[in-house]
Amino acid sequence: MFTHSIRRRLVIGSAALTATALALAGCGRSEDTPSGGSQPTTTVSEGPATGNLTVWAMGTEGENLPKLMEQFKQANPGVNVTVTPIPWDAAHNKFTTAITANTLPDAAMVGTTWMGEFADLGALDPTPQGFDNSGFYEGALNTTKVGGTQYGVPWYVETRLVFYRKDLAAKAGISTPPTDWDGLKAMAKAMKEKAGAKYGINLQPGGDGSWQTVMPFAWSAGANITGDDQKEFTFDTPEMQEGLKYYQSFFTEGLAGTALPPNQTEAQFVNGQVPMFISGPWMAGSVAKAGGDAIKPNIGVFQIPKNKTSTSFVGGSDFVVFKSSKNKDSAWKLVKFLSDPKTQAAWFKMSSDLPAVKSAWQDPSIASDPLLPVFGKQLEDAKAPPAIVNWEQVAKAFDTEIEKMAKSGQSPADTAKAIQTKASQIGTGGS
């Protein structure tokens, strides 16, 4: 490892003390091997899956997946599937360690924002031909694409909507939910002034994951995280500033709080202190848990209000097969089974995970729900961040700057500029 080239670079490095900027640019890595670009050439064979398969899944999915695997085994008697549940907190580390040590399972559930990183590490097997990609929501399908190659398939999705208290909205004189930016602002004001709320809406004032609430506004104003080729960040644009300005105005006008205690969203929604927030489908359940049956009929949702578009954030998980798998053919058969509309509807009933396949939404268990069809509609216009290697790091910088904007009054223009500067320093990563 310590060859003369290292010594040579050490010399260059000490010159960097005087000319850092130059050295930083000059000592870039040059020996990267391109990892993207491999096209799917394989196809999945006919016939049932066989042999042993190991599968990793996180959180409640890991606990529920064995039930679904019973159905898979019935159709494929020759297969034996072992599911290992992994806690979400430990998952990212476990995956990267396993990638390094070559101890990966055959297939796994993978968080959508990790796809870029894992693909860059060369761990993922490109999706074979013969998958019906037209059935997936487009935003969800895009999370599987890294540098033009598709890895795995979307498994389940979630998207963010505005939750509101129907009874308090009526008290505030609002009978139909707003559809545009002005409407949302007016509603937050009315909630505060007429319905006795402390704050009109709960918006995250920076901190972990706040980009997921900020970006829908920026996307709706026409902003993008990167250019089309996903090589350059485009945070410092008038569109981004417009989104940030709108987001900040809720704090400066006292319609959203900067110091709300964490993990109190449900409680404050139930007691009417903060009767609106933006979040995903799981919140319907946790609000009902916090407020009991009485609150259920008063939970309303509406789509992200419109500026140029009404674009929300799409998250969820993809299902992938790893390159190192010794039983790839059967692993892909499992993935195919998981993305079948019937399986997706069955899985919804077991896990409450929303299907990534559009046709599964026609299942009565979803179509007759009072809230879920709105999520389905929002999914038609929902985006995920591009699958870039350094996304987690960029997101962290983004969250920090949003915190400065919401809490200490940093201007939207400066915020956009600071995010752009930091993101460019971090780089998109990969090759």
Give the binding site for other proteins (CB under 8 A): 1-2, 5-17, 20, 23-24, 27, 29-33, 96, 99-100, 120-122, 206-208, 258-259, 261, 390, 392-393, 396, 400, 403-404, 407-408
Taking the least distance from each CB to other proteins, the nearer of 259 and 294 is 259
Cα-trace Rg, the chain: 23
Distance from C-alpha of 119 to C-alpha of 150, rounded to nearest angstrom: 10
Rounded to the nearest 10 degrees, the angle between the axes of helix 341-351 and helix 59-75 is 140
> Could you tell me the smallest distance in angstroms from the CB atom of residue 320 to other proteins?
17
> Could you tell me the smallest distance in angstroms from the CB atom of residue 348 to other proteins?
33
DSSP 151: B
Taking the least distance from each CB to other proteins, the nearer of 87 and 122 is 122
> Could you tell me the smallest distance in angstroms from the CB atom of residue 117 to other proteins?
8
> Could you tell me the smallest distance in angstroms from the CB atom of residue 96 to other proteins?
6
Taking the least distance from each CB to other proteins, the nearer of 267 and 288 is 267
CA nearest 35: which of 149, 152, 111?
A: 149
282: Cβ contacts below 8 Å, ≥ 6 apart: 158, 352
> Could you tell me the smallest distance in angstroms from the CB atom of residue 6 to other proteins?
4
DSSP β-ladder status, 382-383 and 312-321: parallel
> Could you tell me the smallest distance in angstroms from the CB atom of residue 209 to other proteins?
11
> Could you tell me the smallest distance in angstroms from the CB atom of residue 58 to other proteins?
17
Alpha-carbon distance values, 207 to 4, 24, 212, 273, 412 (Å) = 45, 30, 11, 21, 17
Residue 275 in contact with residue 195, Cβ under 8 Å? yes
> Could you tell me the smallest distance in angstroms from the CB atom of residue 27 to other proteins?
5
3: Cβ contacts below 8 Å, ≥ 6 apart: none
Taking the least distance from each CB to other proteins, the nearer of 11 and 294 is 11
E strand intervals along 200-328 = 276-279, 299-302, 312-321
Distance from C-alpha of 344 to C-alpha of 332, rounded to nearest angstrom: 16
For residues 356-376, one letter each, b for 16 or more C-beta atoms within 10 angstroms of the residue's C-beta and e for the rest, the string is bbbebbebeebeeeeebebbb
Distance from C-alpha of 216 to C-alpha of 239, rounded to nearest angstrom: 12
> Could you tell me the smallest distance in angstroms from the CB atom of residue 1 to other proteins?
6
Taking the least distance from each CB to other proteins, the nearer of 208 and 253 is 208
CB neighbourhood size of 327 (10 A): 19
Token duo for residue 48: 């049932």
> Could you tell me the smallest distance in angstroms from the CB atom of residue 402 to other proteins?
11
- First CA to last CA distance, the chain: 22
Taking the least distance from each CB to other proteins, the nearer of 100 and 129 is 100
Taking the least distance from each CB to other proteins, the nearer of 329 and 392 is 392
Taking the least distance from each CB to other proteins, the nearer of 8 and 342 is 8
Residue 122 in contact with residue 328, Cβ under 8 Å? no
DSSP 369: S
Taking the least distance from each CB to other proteins, the nearer of 149 and 400 is 400
Taking the least distance from each CB to other proteins, the nearer of 265 and 390 is 390
